[in-house]
Chains A and B, each alone.
Chain A
Amino acid sequence: MESDVILVIVVATALAFDFTNGFHDTANAVATSISTRALSPRAAVTLAALLNFAGAFISLEVAATVASGIVEANLVSTTIVFAGLVGAIAWNLATWYFGLPSSSSHALIGGVVGAAFAAEGAQAVKGDGLLEKVLIPALIAPVLALVVAAVAIVLAYRIVGRLRPGPVSRGYRLGQIVSASLFSLSHGTNDAQKTMGIIALALVAHGDLSASNPDPPTWVIVSAATAIALGTYVGGWRIIRTMGSRIIKMDPAQGFVAQGAGASVILAASHFGYPLSTTHVAAGGVMGAGAGKRLSAVRWGVAGNIVGAWVLTVPGSASVGALTFGITRVFGTGALGPLIVSISLLALLAAAFGRRISQGRTLTAEA
């Protein structure tokens, strides 16, 4: 009975994380389209939400990777999964507070790794899996997106540079609707599945799924798709502003190229089963589209703040995950610890949202 209560708390927390994931990552798909006025803000988030929902049903490959590739599934308890999710949510909210686009995927992985390490020691963490399936692709993805976008924008300007600007801008704005749609769909295929993977991990720990075959059941897929779509629709507007107008001042060609490069990298990575960060790819694409035009077009101070947040994501969320696991253990191994932490987290969330709304200003550093 007590383990059932913990499982319910874990699933609810996982869906809450999924919501913050959609909320936090809306910017990846829509920031460039809104910035170049290819789409109105409301139309952009509606389109992104619908396609994220659809994308969640397309593939389960990444879900299996998250569930079985990062930590030893047979050593992981539902409390560890819960503590990891709290670490991820805390990091997502902290970066949202500062208007910084950081990786929800890394936050999730870091949180679970930190909690597992605190509970079981180094043996619970699959170092090779972490390196091969997470860290190396995550290093490659933003650099690759930057290079692809930089080369592509040079090519785009060569092709259309001598044409009248009016039709060119209109053409790229139309193209951005297609590229934003693809980006949103591919985001759904990657990120919703990370939550599915983490719920599957909890179900394995609870004994409802086999550790050797942790494919998520249908209710997990539907609820994860719904949570990320709702989060996307609500939209993290401060991060959208950072991605859309604070890294570079974007024209429609740059917006199309940033999204096209990002979608290409994400689709390629999704095809090969890497749980890469769409945020890193999207930001890399935006920086590349600016740097390809002129290096000084990129506000490197803002870019530096973003990269700093990326570097701190895994250790930061891992620390919170480990700390959360420690706090739950103070109240024993039952449901009391997760319950108290959940209530405390909800109270903190309410306070943070209230304060943020009343302030109404971003703390993101300007270049």
Chain B
Amino acid sequence: MATIVDTKVLAELIAAALLGGIGVTAIFGLVIYGSTRFADLRREGKVVGAAFFAVVAGLALAAFAGGVVMALLIMTDK
């Protein structure tokens, strides 16, 4: 089987899919978590806490956008 199947490539495929799928979900979860907490804390007048979660949401959103760009690069870079 190992002579027919390139196990190294298959392992890379599995690793890339796992990393991409779970990573994107976690990052987008942080976008939602950060933005929701930001809105809640700002409404309560807690400026410092709100600012912290705004930064968390912003960084996660930037990472999510980076993931989308990477996906587009994967599609075009063949």
Query: What is the interface of chain A, defined by CB distance below 8 A to chain B?
Result: 55, 58-61, 128, 131-132, 136-137, 140, 144-145, 147-149, 151-153, 155-156, 159-160, 163-164, 167-168, 171-172, 175, 178, 182, 185-186, 189, 256-257, 260-261, 263-265, 267-274
Contact: B22 with A151, CB < 8 Å? yes
Choice from A148, A175, A189 contacting B17 with Cβ under 8 Å: A148
Contact: A160 with B32, CB < 8 Å? yes
Q: Would you call the interface of chain B mostly helix, strand, loop, or mixed?
A: helix
Query: What is the interface of chain B, defined by CB distance below 8 A to chain A?
Result: 4-6, 9-10, 12-14, 16-22, 24-26, 28-33, 35-37, 39-40, 68, 71-72, 74-76, 78
Contact: A155 with B39, CB < 8 Å? no
Residue of B nearest to A167 (CB): B36
Contact: A155 with B29, CB < 8 Å? yes
- In the bound complex, how far is the Cα of B13 from the Cα of A132, in angstroms? 14
- In the bound complex, how far is the Cα of B29 from the Cα of A19, in angstroms? 36
Some 25 contacts from A to B, beta carbons below 8 A apart, are A58-B78, A59-B76, A131-B5, A136-B5, A136-B10, A140-B13, A140-B14, A147-B18, A152-B22, A156-B28, A159-B30, A160-B36, A163-B32, A167-B39, A171-B35, A172-B32, A175-B28, A182-B71, A186-B71, A261-B21, A264-B19, A268-B13, A268-B16, A268-B20, A270-B75
- In the bound complex, how far is the Cα of B10 from the Cα of A268, in angstroms? 10
Contact: A168 with B28, CB < 8 Å? no
- In the bound complex, how far is the Cα of B9 from the Cα of A151, in angstroms? 23
- In the bound complex, how far is the Cα of B3 from the Cα of A273, in angstroms? 18
Choice from B10, B21, B30 contacting A140 with Cβ under 8 Å: B10
Contact: B13 with A168, CB < 8 Å? no
For B36, the chain A residues whose CB sits under 8 A away are 160, 163-164, 167-168, 171
Contact: B12 with A159, CB < 8 Å? no
Residue of A nearest to B6 (CB): A132
- In the bound complex, how far is the Cα of B70 from the Cα of A302, in angstroms? 35
Contact: B25 with A155, CB < 8 Å? yes
Given contacts A148-B21, A186-B75, A261-B21, contact A160 B68 (CB under 8 A): no
Contact: B20 with A267, CB < 8 Å? yes
Closest 5 CB pairs of A and B: A264-B20, A159-B29, A148-B21, A264-B21, A152-B25
Query: From residue A56, how far is it (CB to closest CB) to chain B in Å?
Result: 11
For A185, the chain B residues whose CB sits under 8 A away are 72, 75
Contact: B71 with A267, CB < 8 Å? yes
Residue of A nearest to B15 (CB): A268
Choice from A61, A131, A156 contacting B29 with Cβ under 8 Å: A156
